[in-house]
Amino acid sequence: MKPIEIAKGIYDVGVIDWNIRDFHGYSTNLGTTYNAFLILDEKITLIDTVKKEFADHLIDNISQIADPEKIAYIISNHTEMDHSGSLPRVMHRIGEDKPLFCSKMGQKNLSRHYSRKWNYRAVENGEELSIGTRTLKFLETRMIHWPDSMFTYLREEKILFSSDAFGQHYAGPEKFDDSIGEAIMPHAKKYFANILMLYSPLILRLIENVTKLGLEFNMICPDHGILWRRDPAKIINAYIQWSSQKPEKKAVIVYDTMWHSTEKMAESIASGLCEEGIHVRPMKLREWHRSDIMTEVLDAKAVIAGSPTLNNGLYPTVSDFLTYMKGLKPLNKIGAAFGSYGWSGESAQLLQNELEAMKFDIAAPLLKIQYVPDKAGMDQCAAFGRTIGKAIKG
């Protein structure tokens, strides 16, 4: 496929990874893209590369637009290997001595990844680089989401090359927001929930700082998914909303089950929440991927966790999910714990301990039922759901 000219003299020379389904533990049901950008000017400039296995594809795409050896500058906005993995191959092709611009941490991290003595040019936050008729401005975005991360802003065309920020793991025929419309937003939300949620306070501060700089954006070009050109403010506003983590009147029941008893409890708890008019989604861990559950958690007020007791502990899928959720640091949640058991019955207390460690306010005393819930047990579960529903409504 010929690279698309996204603005006059600026091409997306990246690649589509149609078949990836697991991106370091994140379910990429529709694949993803690794976007990279070539700017034709007096100094031909390449912004970012792609995953190592797509290096030849990237070089082929570049070759359709310009002789790779004529590239004068390379910019690495981010060291993670989905964007830098092709650098050794690209540098070898275009010339190992070509200046490679990155943040100070970028230089350190690229060196640790590739052990090459490239011609690094570490840039400061706000530093500018003329490439001929155009000027690039580098904006440090440390910890969004790696210590090396930065944005590159093209002043004349007002284009922000935003690395991972504002991206989506989506592979499709569309290149821009105007061709896909609202359908891209669930992918952007999932990406935020699973990759950026823990940096919410930093993201709000970054957006505030960029706003103070008075930069305007005609286009935002992330390194994954579609590019925002019809309405770049839409994704910025979505990031403000998601980073604020203001919960909706919504509950997620995340659980697993051995012999369906914890499952019965989950469904009865859900009915209690429904009676209170709460939007609730019970999500069984062996049926739902953890990254889809986190997308629901992002804007839910309540996370209700359930596990049977197995060998005096939690069911392994539940432990896995709790570890994942804890790392993403969700804010402003209430929670509750439940589970069935046979004889020792530790699971509900262990769950509640984990929720408390995540600073969730406990909305109802933990609920545990031995073996199979009977009618009275099911009524107890529904009442538990109603109690949490009332707490959600405040």
User: From CA 187, how far away is CA 27, in angstroms rounded?
Assistant: 11
Catalytic residue among 12, 48, 80, 292, which?
A: 80
Closest CB to ligand FEO among 162 and 261?
162
Least distance in angstroms from the C-beta of 357 to ligand FEO:
27
Please provide residue 244's backbone torsions phi and psi, each rounded to the nearest 5 degrees.
-70, -25
For residue 304, give the H/E element and its range.
strand 300-306
Closer to ligand FEO by Cβ: residue 80 or 354: 80
Residue 45: enclosing H or E segment and its boundaries? strand 44-47
* Residues in CB range of 391: below 8 A, 6 or more apart: 302, 334, 363, 364
Q: Which residue is nearest to ligand FEO (CB)?
A: 80
Toward ligand FEO, which CB reaches closer, 223 or 346?
A: 223
Nearest distance from C-beta of residue 36 to ligand FEO, angstroms? 12
- If phi over 0 gives left and psi between -120 and 50 gives alpha, with beta otherwise, what is residue 115? left
Q: Of residues 17, 41, 148, 164, which one binds ligand FEO by CB under 6 A? A: 164
Compare residues 184 and 366 and give the one whose CB is closer to ligand FEO.
184
Catalytic site includes residue 191: yes
Q: Does the protein bind ligand FEO through residue 264 (CB under 6 A)?
A: no
- The residue from 191, 199, 239, 255 that is catalytic is 191
**Closer CB to ligand FEO, 77 or 257, in the complex:** 77
Q: State the nearest-atom distance from the C-beta of 164 to ligand FEO, in Å.
A: 4
How far is Cα 278 from Cα 275, in angstroms, rounded to an integer?
7
| Helices 87-94 and 55-63, axial angle in degrees (round to 10) | 40
How many chain residues interact with ligand FEO (CB under 6 A)?
A: 8
Residue 78 binds ligand FEO (CB under 6 A): yes
The reply to whether 17 sits near ligand FEO by the rule CB under 6 A is: no
- Per CB under 6 A, 224 contacts ligand FEO: yes
- Closer CB to ligand FEO, 30 or 274, in the complex: 30
Choose the stretch contacting ligand FEO; rule: CB under 6 A; options: 45-53, 76-84, 118-126, 208-216: 76-84
Centre a 10 Å sphere on the Cβ of residue 29 and count the other Cβ atoms it contains.
14
Distance of CA 25 to the CA centre of its chain: 12
Catalytic residue status for 24: yes
Please tell me whether residue 346 binds ligand FEO under the rule CB under 6 A: no
Quick note: the x/- pattern for ligand FEO over 304-333, rule CB under 6 A, is: ------------------------------
Among 15, 28, 50, 83, binds ligand FEO (CB under 6 A): 83
If the CB atoms of residues 146 and 217 are measured against ligand FEO, the closer one turns out to be: 146
Rounded Cα distance, 140 and 119, in Å: 20
Whichever of 187 and 301 has its CB closer to ligand FEO, that residue is 187
CB burial readout 309-335, b (16+ within 10 A) else e: bbeeebbebbbebbeebeebebbebbb
Window of 79-87, 186-194, 311-319, 362-370 that interacts with ligand FEO by CB under 6 A:
79-87
| Residue 231 annotated in active site | no
Q: What is the secondary structure of 316-356 as a DSSP string?
A: HHHHHHHHHHHHH---S-EEEEEEEESSS--HHHHHHHHHH
Q: How many helical (H) and strand (E) elements, i.e. helices and strands, does the chain have?
A: 13, 22
Contact (Cβ atoms closer than 8 angstroms) between residue 106 and residue 125? no
Look up residue 206 and give its amino acid: L
Contact status: 223 vs ligand FEO (CB under 6 A): yes
CB of 146 to ligand FEO, least distance (A): 6
**Residue 78 annotated among the catalytic residues of the structure:** yes
Q: Is 164 a catalytic residue?
A: yes
**Contacts (Cβ under 8 Å, ≥6 apart) of 181:** none
Nearest CA among 157, 230, 200 for reference residue 7:
157
In angstroms, rounded to a whole number, what is the distance separating the alpha carbons of residues 193 and 265? 27
Instruction: Determine if 82 is a binding residue for ligand FEO (CB under 6 A).
Output: yes
Question: In the window 132-161, what residues touch ligand FEO (CB under 6 A)?
Answer: 145
Active site residue 224: yes
> Distance between CA 73 and CA 173 in Å, rounded?
30
Amino acid at 185: M
When asked if residue 48 is in the footprint of ligand FEO (CB under 6 A), the reply is no
Positions marked catalytic: 24, 78, 80, 82, 145, 164, 191, 224
Residues that bind ligand FEO (CB under 6 A): 78, 80, 82-83, 145, 164, 223-224
